[in-house]
Amino acid sequence: MIKILCTVALSTASLYYAQSFPASAIPENLKKNADAVIRKDFTTIQINKIDDIKYQYYKVTTVLNKDGDSNAQVFIPYEKGNSISDVKVNIYDEAGKKIKSFSKSDFNDFANNNQGTFYSDNRVMVLPYMPTQYPYSVEFSYQIGDENTVFLPDFTPFRSTKVSLEEAQMKIINKSGIDLKTKIYPSAYNYTSVTESENAGEKTYAYKNVPAVDDVFLLPQPVKILPKVSFALTKFNLEGKQGSINNWGDFGSWYYNSILQPVSLSTPAIKAEVMSLDLKGTTEEKVKKLYQHMQAKTRYIFVALGIGGWQPMLPDEVQKKGYGDCKGLTNYMKTLLDEAGIPSYYSVINSGSSPVSFDKDFPKMGGNHVILMVPTEKGNIWLENTSQQMAFNHLSYSTTARNVLSIRKDGIELIETPDYTAEQSKEKQQLTIKINEDNSILGEGNFSYTGIQYDNNLVLASLSSKERNEAVKSMIDVLHFEKIDVKNFLNDRDNAIAKYDLNFKANNYSKNAGSSIIFRAVPIYSNNVYKNEENRELPFELRQSFEDEYEVSFILPQQYKVEELPENVILNSEFGTYKLSFVKNGESLKVNRSMRINKGIYPKEKYNDYINFRKKTINIDNSKILISKI
């Protein structure tokens, strides 16, 4: 049967290769907002048995300009044991004339190591081709066999912005006798739809004529815009470990027994390590001491070894070597807690800047990161184990507000991670600004950050004093600094607060108007450019709630008084609130400014309302104060 499939596949590929793909044949609506156009994207998956699956890929991509080159890169990721065959690549010019052909022997073979990867079984074959003209088209096909049947790919039109699609098809031929579960997730915004058909046990899904998603401001991730089809076998194989996934309970038991239990092994050295810490106090205090101990002695290096890159390193390896990836470090931390008699749960998550959760009604293998959850009477403690700087019981924006697969002996529990409110993600700014007659200012300030804003400033923790000065100078780009000095930086890892003091001198802050001086009300603020869109086509996403709270005390030059002040302002909208107020006190002036932004995905019809709200806040931040000589 496999031979028959291969013969049919080759015949089909030969039919595809008989076609021509001139760039002029691309419909105009697919060129709009596109750097590249996928002309054909055909995948055939044949599942022969629980540990035998074959993939045939055929894809033609026309690159319209240099920015589209990355969408036509030719590479084949694989692991040891995969069989790769029938590799063909053709390059065509703008008119559809073939100008170059390549075969498997033209590819280079590399370890597929991402940045920070130290050990990996993953490899990649890459074709080193540099285009010499635009547009051009790349026709690429190959077949690959695998024994792992747990990773059936989702079927989506494309995965990035600035790419359009003429035609895509995924055909699944299931000869294994194992039930294949499928689920279609329609586009929440009716961007496009997938067609479904079945014939003699073959399921076929298709997309046609899908325009590019433009890379516009505040765009939700394409995964939240586009439809997809998910697949999962009810029985599967992963590196010889067979299991079932009829429900999350089945899958969790397999995960625990096959992936985690074999490497959940303590040692006398680990027992002694925990004993030496002399843990006392509440559960939270013990967990914190163990966590900060682990942070101090380990560092993150990705390791893609062990049952398809999914099994953690042994805890004693991490202890001895002082490094591991998210899996190994989390497993090590869990083992430390086990030795202290504190239960915890290895938790798989989809890490990313915009939250993506697992479907509680469609269990399948997934996730790209691992964290640890420790239940207590006061609530769950969450531990991010890959950072030496991260605060205790704090998750960054890439892991908040979504669910995790919390792995238990008797199954999986889907648990929500924390979602920081605006009040919990706050920047507090206390500034004293001395206005000088030469238009310069001298400033002293205290800054503190919590929640998501703590994450944004955590990078400062690992910098030298000089680097930190330059980083803050770059972040505060609305002032013309002559000198800047960041002092007393503190990463409060007990309470997830980043703090520092700032002394500076900045020039050209004010302007002279006769015997008067004019300057803006808010010295340090975000001066992002906000542009209206007449024909917004997609919703917009405010990914994080946050709050800014500024208190600015201006010290006036001697013999000057406040002549004119802006009006106190309060702006309210569904997107957030903004307040600015002024208090005069002799030769000083206090300005209080607060802004809150409410996260969410908002309809396209409200985009310009949001932009206008932010434009108003910036205009008010720039409102002018007039002081005059007495």
CA dist., res. 27 & res. 24, Å (int) = 8
When the pLDDT of each residue in the chain is averaged and rounded to a whole number, the result is 94
Q: Is 243 inside any structural domain?
A: no
Residues 253 and 367 in one domain: yes
Residues 19 and 94 in one domain: yes
Residues 619 and 478 in one domain: yes
Residues 406 and 434 in one domain: no
CA dist., res. 337 & res. 238, Å (int) = 29
Task: At 15, give phi and psi (nearest 5°).
Answer: -65, -45
Res. 11: pLDDT tops 70: no
Each residue of 367-376: pLDDT tens digit? Answer: 999 999 999 9
Res. 583: pLDDT tops 60: yes
CA dist., res. 604 & res. 585, Å (int) = 46
Each residue of 397-425: pLDDT tens digit? Answer: 999 999 999 999 999 999 999 999 999 99
Q: Is 354 inside any structural domain?
A: yes
Number of domains the chain is built from: 3
Each residue of 588-598: pLDDT tens digit? Answer: 899 999 999 99
The CB density around residue 194, as the number of other CB atoms within 10 Å, is 22
- The pairing of strands 569-573 and 228-233 is unpaired
Q: Which residues contact 117 (CB under 8 A, 6 or more apart)?
A: 301, 302, 303, 304
Q: Is 114 inside any structural domain?
A: yes
Res. 12: pLDDT tops 60: no
Q: Is 577 inside any structural domain?
A: yes
Q: Is 244 inside any structural domain?
A: no
pTM over 0.85: yes
Domain, as residue range, for 358 = 249-416
Residues 145 and 267 in one domain: no
What is the predicted pLDDT for the residue at 130?
A: 95
106: DSSP letter? G
Average pLDDT on 434-439 reads: 97
Least confident of 11-25, 287-301, 345-359: 11-25
Each residue of 571-582: pLDDT tens digit? Answer: 999 999 999 999
What is the predicted pLDDT for the residue at 282?
A: 97
Sign of CA dihedral 328, 333, 338, 342: negative
CATH value at residue 612: 2.60.120.1130
% of the chain residues with pLDDT over 90: 91
Residues 162 and 30 in one domain: yes
Angle between helices 283-297 and 326-339 (to 10 degrees): 140
Residues 335 and 372 in one domain: yes
| Final residue in a domain of this structure, among 355, 386, 416 | 416
CATH value at residue 369: 3.10.620.30
Each residue of 215-257: pLDDT tens digit? Answer: 999 999 999 999 999 999 999 999 999 999 999 999 999 999 9
Contact present, 483 and 527 (Cβ < 8 Å)? no
Residues 182 and 283 in one domain: no
The CB density around residue 124, as the number of other CB atoms within 10 Å, is 15
| Tokens at 35, concatenated | 């750097």
DSSP secondary structure of 391-457 = PTT---TTTSSSEEEEEETTEEEEEEPP---TTTSEEEEEEEEEE-TTS-EEEEEEEEEEHHHHHHH
Least confident of 116-125, 205-214, 505-514: 116-125
| Final residue in a domain of this structure, among 395, 416, 437 | 416
Average pLDDT on 352-365 reads: 96
Residues 323 and 450 in one domain: no
Q: Which pLDDT band, with edges at 50, 70 and 90, does 112 fall under?
A: confident
Each residue of 511-554: pLDDT tens digit? Answer: 999 999 999 999 999 889 999 999 999 999 999 999 999 999 99
| Tokens at 224, concatenated | 């939240």
Res. 119: pLDDT tops 60: no
CA dist., res. 51 & res. 35, Å (int) = 39
Q: Which pLDDT band, with edges at 50, 70 and 90, does 8 fall under?
A: very low
Residues 170 and 302 in one domain: no
Which residue carries 């400014």 as its tokens?
A: 593
Average pLDDT on 323-337 reads: 96
337: DSSP letter? H
CA dist., res. 407 & res. 367, Å (int) = 13
Residues 89 and 23 in one domain: yes
Angle between helices 326-339 and 268-276 (to 10 degrees): 70
Q: Is 296 inside any structural domain?
A: yes
Q: Is 512 inside any structural domain?
A: yes
Res. 309: pLDDT tops 90: no
What is the predicted pLDDT for the residue at 273?
A: 98
Residues 332 and 202 in one domain: no
Q: Is 309 inside any structural domain?
A: yes
What is the predicted pLDDT for the residue at 308?
A: 60
Res. 2: pLDDT tops 50: no
Each residue of 55-105: pLDDT tens digit? Answer: 999 999 999 999 999 999 999 999 888 999 999 999 999 999 999 999 999
Average pLDDT on 111-137 reads: 80
| Final residue in a domain of this structure, among 416, 446, 475 | 416
CA dist., res. 225 & res. 187, Å (int) = 6
